[in-house]
Amino acid sequence: MGSKKINFWKWAFFSLAAILTIAGVVAWFMMRSFLTYDQETAFQPRAYQDRSGAEFEIITTKDDINLWIEQEMREEGEDDFTLYLDDAIYVETGIEAFGFRIPVDMTLSPEVTDNGNLIVREEQFRLARFELPSEQVFQLIEATADLPDWIDVLPAERSFFIDLRQASSEEGLDLRILAFDLEEEDLRFMATFTSEDEE
């Protein structure tokens, strides 16, 4: 009886398949641990009290708000995050993953909060060619995007909280949203100029 000959290519194929399977499982566990979001840490928006001072109601347009957002982002040094208004709110940004920059485009709908800030909820998103649940996309944005202090990412709610009152407070101004209807272009704000001793 002759000795049994080992097929080298068969052995190499099964070895490669095992290595790729192990690498895939390790990558899956690493990705899951990277994307884990602590659901117990519920977002609590900052509480505001209405301030006294000279009040002015501001009626504006989408173009003017886009200009203001662009100026604020430039001051914050945000080169990789674009937020603009049209018939909805559009966000263009990118996330760094595995050494690549992946473009993210979102369409969001606005909702005014009781204290005059804004929550924008995801209507649709596009993440290059990858299909991920949108909550995980929000987790990636929260973990990798360098956003201004006045924008909070809420992955569990698939939304952004825009704290307009915080963004304007450094200028001795209390700016609250009264109406934010993009389709009707009903964009009204209340600006209260506060004294320095109130801040």
User: Among residues 18, 35, 64, which one has the least CA distance to residue 143?
Assistant: 35
> Looking at the domain assignment, is residue 177 inside a domain?
no
Confidence category of residue 145, pLDDT binned at 50, 70, 90: confident
**Average pLDDT along the chain:** 79
> Looking at the domain assignment, is residue 31 inside a domain?
no
Integer CA distances (angstroms), 167 to 27, 30, 163, 173, in order? 39, 36, 6, 9
Per the structure, the count of domains in the chain is 1
3-17 mean pLDDT: 68
> Looking at the domain assignment, is residue 83 inside a domain?
yes
Q: Model-level pTM?
A: 0.64
Strands, sheet with 54-60, edge to edge from the N-terminal-most edge strand = 54-60, 186-193, 173-181
Q: Which of 53-62, 93-102, 115-124 has the lowest mean pLDDT?
A: 93-102
> Looking at the domain assignment, is residue 114 inside a domain?
yes
Distance (Å, whole) CA 69 – CA 63: 10
159-168 mean pLDDT: 86
> Looking at the domain assignment, is residue 55 inside a domain?
no
Confidence category of residue 58, pLDDT binned at 50, 70, 90: very high
Give the pLDDT confidence score for residue 140 in this predicted structure: 76
Give the pLDDT confidence score for residue 40 in this predicted structure: 47
Portion of the chain with pLDDT greater than 90, in percent: 20
The domain containing residue 126 runs over which residues?
A: 62-164
Computed from CA positions of residues 133, 135, 138, 140, in that sequence, does the dihedral angle turn out positive or negative?
negative
> Looking at the domain assignment, is residue 53 inside a domain?
no
> Looking at the domain assignment, is residue 111 inside a domain?
yes
> Looking at the domain assignment, is residue 45 inside a domain?
no
